[in-house]
Homo-oligomer: A and B are copies of this chain.
Amino acid sequence: MDIAGPARTQVNGPAALNIAAVAGTGESLRMKSFRKELWFEAPQRRALMNITPDVGECLRESGIREGLCLVNAMHITASVFINDDESGLHADYERWLEQLAPEKPHHTYDHNRTGEDNADAHLKRTIMGREVVVAVTAGKLDFGPWEQIFYGEFDGRRKKRVLVKIIGE
């Protein structure tokens, strides 16, 4: 599992900052929602990328101080999860996921009869999870000491997206 320097781009979503909600009497209210897509292109089939700084930047852009931050893979062969930024652990993940849901032989999976070769990526993403929800407190991602957000790519070599949605105030 290669974690060295994947290509990485960011694209603003269609509604980057949306301050809305109208009281019955017409006053505008400070309930905010923020949306942004993060785009990634892993040069290998599988990669783990620490996207904590990207999500932190979204939170700063949003101006939201208290709320919840959803970060999810928009593709079903990729994952967003929280764990440690330690290269040994990442090597352990690679070995472990290959044990639990081996990539090959491709023909052992019914899904691959559709012309795909990525059935294992659907299963690996299932183990690792689609999404995380992170508390936002005092304008920061409210994390324990070692929590870092990762994008887990299991069928890379093409542009794929992560959605960041923050609601609060």
Q: Which residues of A contact B (CB under 8 A)?
A: 13-15, 18, 20-25, 27-31, 33, 35, 65-68, 70, 72-76, 81-84, 86-89, 91-93, 96, 100-101, 109-114, 119, 122-123, 125-135, 137-138, 142-147, 161, 163, 165, 167-169
Q: Are B138 and A163 in contact (CB under 8 A)?
A: no
Q: Shortest 8 CB-CB distances between A and B: which pairs? A: A74-B144, A88-B110, A135-B165, A33-B66, A89-B111, A88-B111, A21-B169, A24-B28
Q: If A27-B27, A70-B68, A76-B83 touch, does A132 touch B130 (CB 8 Å cutoff)?
A: yes
How far does the alpha carbon of A128 sit from the alpha carbon of B91 in the complex, in Å? 20
By CB atoms of chain B within 10 A, which of A20, A68, A112, A138 has the most? A68
- The reply to whether B74 and A167 contact each other, CB–CB distance below 8 Å, is no
Is A122 a contact partner of B24 (Cβ separation < 8 A)? Answer: no
Out of B83, B84, B133, B135, name the residue touching A35 (CB < 8 Å): B135
Once the chains are docked, how many angstroms separate the CA of A168 from the CA of B35? 14
- Select which of B14, B74, B135 is within 8 A of A72 by beta carbon: B135
Q: How far is the CA of A39 from the CA of B123 in the complex (A)?
A: 27
Extra pairs beyond A84-B111, A89-B111 (8, CB < 8 Å):
A15-B66, A35-B135, A35-B142, A68-B70, A86-B114, A96-B123, A127-B127, A167-B167
A165 touches B146 (CB 8 A): no
